[in-house]
Structure 1
């Protein structure tokens, strides 16, 4: 059966500079095995499938697959799926916002000027990292233990932990030892020096397999909740991600009335049909 298909670049207004996403529309009738097989075939970090919602409060339902597993939530698939749903003629129940149903429940999105932003889901795990884990991360990043200024569990579903280094330049310069970091989902953040067009530099290292994610919405959402809550970041800022992969992702963060909103631009790259 032919279904609408989009391939998008998320967290960038310019194609080829953000994080790609494949979106299959009208996926009702597809079984899980076919969804997983197509996600392996696209070989992108995530492929999403748009479905009618089960929850009457939601506008649509999405299932999110990596080439290896299904995820309960991910940030750039949330922004990209909402953008694709709207571009295909989706009409939200509530003007000015979109409600997505996914594995973690309902996720609200709103328009932030020309871009969409999602409300960061609550953290499932927080608190400082264990000393043995922190020591392994320091070795895996090739930095002295004192080079990690702050650290935290920031898991909002995928399993993220995070460390803060002394500068964005230090984050960009890292050469990870994947053998030591292989089972972690690790976020690294550092403040930029004056004169940069962003406030923070972010990297996302995902084991197993030694994969670095170009631009990561779920990680930036949980980093923002941690850093803003701890007084390590202002209530609004822009983070850069993707430098090591020759990308130029930009993540727009804004905290308001107890909610952290994570926004980004979306650029269309491929549109057509897929026969599944």
Structure 2
């Protein structure tokens, strides 16, 4: 069995929740894309990262069913784990920084895969949603406190690959921040926390707490 780490990304202030991320630190042990895809499917995390160059921050990201050019929470987790100034993804170079308890990335909304955003009137409506049938990638959200930029959200990948709900989705948070044009404090899933801030030139920062689970 290939060695891998498991991180929890976008954890709550008490260290709970967060989205589990598989990280294969020695990507060279599994260079073939089909083999990587099969391994990601076997692990079953929302995403798995293969590190191809730890010094330069070159990474390769997979869901259980597809390879991604960019994804938010894998980049936040990899930034924390590798502690490098940038990550190199097929979509582009992602800026990174560590700031106290938070790991941050800077990326562009157009790098993320398309999603269907559905705004609801209250956080309770989002809480009560049932998992939809496989189909579009749906990001359901509502304001908890619009003045303060606080949002309640849930993410439904709709891929039919066993991941019915995504506990924390950095790419969707990035896209929503770009659309709204303001900093956000998002609670997604069971209790994960995602922070965002728009930057000049169409860039967006996304940050959160990361813990090594095993």
Query: TM over 0.5: same fold?
Result: yes
Please tell me the root mean square deviation across aligned C-alpha atoms, in Å: 2.4
CA displacement, residues 42-73 of structure 1 (integer Å, 9 cap, x when unaligned):
111111100128xxxx8221111111111111
Mapping for residues 113-192 of structure 1, pairs under 5 Å: 113-123=100-110, 156-178=111-133, 182-192=134-144
**Which aligned runs of 4 or more in structure 1 are off by greater than 6 angstroms?**
none
Name 2:169's counterpart in structure 1: 216
Please show how residues 29-68 of structure 1 align to structure 2 within 5 Å: 29-30=29-30, 31-52=32-53, 59-68=56-65
Q: Is the 8 A contact 1:198 1:240 kept in 2?
A: no
CA distance in 2, matches of 1:239, 1:2: 34
Summarize the alignment of residues 1-276 of structure 1 with structure 2, pairs less than 5 Å apart: 3=3, 5-12=4-11, 17-30=17-30, 31-52=32-53, 59-86=56-83, 92=84, 98-123=85-110, 156-178=111-133, 182-193=134-145, 199-209=150-160, 211-228=164-181, 235-242=182-189, 247-258=190-201, 259-270=203-214
Q: Is the Cα contact below 8 Å between 2:72 and 2:169 reproduced in 1?
A: yes
Question: Is the contact made by 2:79 and 2:105 (CA closer than 8 Å) also made in structure 1?
Answer: no
> Which runs of 5 or more residues in structure 2 are unaligned?
none
For 1:71 and 1:254, locate their aligned partners in 2 and report how far apart those are by CA, in whole Å.
Answer: 23
How many angstroms apart in 2 are the aligned matches of 1:10 and 1:22? 11
Q: Distance in 2 between matches of 1:43 and 1:261?
A: 27
Q: How far off is 1:112 after superposition?
A: 3.3
> Which residue of structure 2 aligns with residue 141 of structure 1?
none
The secondary structure found in structure 2 opposite 1:120 is strand
Work out the CA distance in 1 between the residues paired with 2:89 and 2:117: 24
CA distance in structure 2 between the aligned counterparts of 1:175 and 1:114, rounded to whole angstroms? 33
For the residue of structure 1 that corresponds to 2:27, the secondary structure is: coil
Query: Number of aligned pairs?
Result: 209
Q: CA deviation at 1:208?
A: 2.9
Please state how far the C-alpha of 1:236 moved relative to its aligned partner: 2.5
The answer to whether the 8 A contact 2:131-2:165 is kept is no
